[in-house]
Amino acid sequence: MNLIAVGRLQKTFGAHGELLLTLYGDNPKLSKKTPVFVSVEGLNVPFYLKSIAEKNGKFVVVFDDMEREALAQELVGKEIFVAQTAKDKTAVTQPAESEALMGYTFEDAAFGAVGKLTRRLDYPGNPVLQLTTEQGREILIPDNPRFITSVDKKREIVSVALPEGLIDLFL
């Protein structure tokens, strides 16, 4: 089963196992009926949602059997994955499409110029693009066309709208 990263558990949010979840890109349909997965010690562990509520563009979630703050704290900072559906598989940029953008400058709507595309890393279920800044720093962004807002082939610029805070992780 292929898994795709859909968000990150930011912090605990209460004393009853609540966690603040920030989702990447378009909000995937999270359901109480299908599990989400968290990588724990190298294993993809399934968790079922007991509750989920939107709060200021983020989500407060509680997992079944994790209704204590101490248990929830162990999941803080971890990414959430869902099983990849046929629809998701077609949404991921094909390697040939990414290769065509090699050397292009990526500009984020909020951040500005991020860097030039230097490489595509094909991690199973989560391919990423490696950008290199003018200072030589490497930034990884999901290889997903949902983040691309436009491509200017003449000026070799890719305009993107990346999740808030993603670039800050690398700087």
* Residue 85: pLDDT band with limits 50, 70, 90: low
State the DSSP code for 135: T
- Residue 89: predicted pLDDT: 43
Q: How far apart are CA 153 and CA 97, in angstroms?
A: 13
Q: Which fold has domain 3-91?
A: Elongation Factor Tu (Ef-tu); domain 3 (2.40.30)
Please give the helix or strand (H or E) that residue 99 lies within, else none. helix 95-99
Token pair for 138: 């490497």
- Residue 27: predicted pLDDT: 53
Domains 3-91 and 95-170 share a fold: no
Which CATH architecture group holds 95-170? Answer: Roll (2.30)
pLDDT of residue 67 exceeding 90, the answer is no
Q: What is the pTM of this model?
A: 0.50
Q: Which sequence spans correspond to the domains of the chain?
A: 3-91, 95-170
Task: Encode pLDDT of 131-157 as tens digits.
Answer: 999 999 999 998 887 888 888 889 999
Q: How far apart are CA 110 and CA 12, in angstroms?
A: 27
Give the burial class of 10: count Cβ atoms within 10 A of its Cβ; 0-12 exposed, 13-18 middle, 19 or more buried.
middle
pLDDT of residue 90 exceeding 50, the answer is no
The total number of residues written for the chain in this structure: 171
Helix ranges, 7-103 (H): 69-73, 86-91, 95-99
